[in-house]
Amino acid sequence: MHRRTRLAFALVLATALLMSGDDKTASAQSMSEQKRVLIHELLQLQNPGGTMMKQITEMSLAQSQVLMGDVFDSILKDPNLSEEQRGELRTERGRMNYFTILLNAKLSERLDLDRVLYDTYAPLYAKYFDEIELQELVVFARTPTGRKSLEVMPQISAEAAGELLGAVVPQMMSATQEVLEEMRSAGAMP
């Protein structure tokens, strides 16, 4: 059980790392100085005090722990599991939570989150907005409505993510249960 879980986790992590290695750096280097200044100003307005990445990281950690907990809870409901298997799953769940907490702490020590934020968003803003549009965004971000939209957008995103998880997780759990039953019926799982 432990080996399969670790292998699946390693596969997901490797896929995420491979997908992150695109040409963002090249497009950031090719943008004009004026565009770079506007994007920097816009990101400063969006992230006063440099707290956005910390909030995003903490939110992601919490959501991944909830999702992982829901997956384990769904599997634990399987009446065909022995008490030994249930014990292994509970132990594995604890390990995964502990791993996630330790990983988050290590990443927080090693990553310059403001740099990651800039390196991620700057090429995207450069890709989708020209200089005039960036100037308009900066002007808007300085207005009371613009400031409010920047202040509440993280909460809106967090609430939306929670609502989406609430809508998606039950379906994921149901589908997981069906797949486990199909695999068991096919003899692919004890």
Distance CA 103, CA 36 (A): 32
Domain that holds residue 153: 23-185
Across 81-107, b (16+ Cβ under 10 Å) vs e yields: beeeeeeebeebbeebbeebeeebeee
- Answer whether residue 18 is part of any domain: no
- Answer whether residue 162 is part of any domain: yes
- Answer whether residue 73 is part of any domain: yes
- Answer whether residue 15 is part of any domain: no
Which residue is listed with tokens 């920097």? 40
- Answer whether residue 12 is part of any domain: no
- Answer whether residue 11 is part of any domain: no
How many domains does the structure of the chain reveal?
1
- 52-76 vs 144-185: helix crossing angle, rounded to 10: 20
169, 70 contact by CB (below 8 A): yes
Distance CA 89, CA 74 (A): 11
Overall pTM surpassing 0.85 (yes/no): no
Q: Which of 9, 169, 181, 5 is nearest to 88 (CA)?
A: 5
What is the full per-residue pLDDT of the chain (190 aa) written as tens digits? 444 444 444 444 444 444 444 444 445 557 889 999 999 888 888 876 666 666 667 777 777 777 778 788 888 888 888 999 889 888 988 888 888 888 878 877 887 777 887 888 899 999 999 999 999 999 999 999 999 998 888 778 878 877 887 788 788 888 888 888 888 898 887 7
- Answer whether residue 3 is part of any domain: no
User: CA–CA distance from 101 to each of 3, 20, 73, 74 (Å)?
Assistant: 20, 22, 19, 22
Distance CA 50, CA 44 (A): 8
Distance CA 16, CA 145 (A): 36
- Answer whether residue 97 is part of any domain: yes
Calculated CA dihedral for residues 98, 99, 102, 104, nearest 10 degrees: -110
Distance CA 129, CA 134 (A): 6
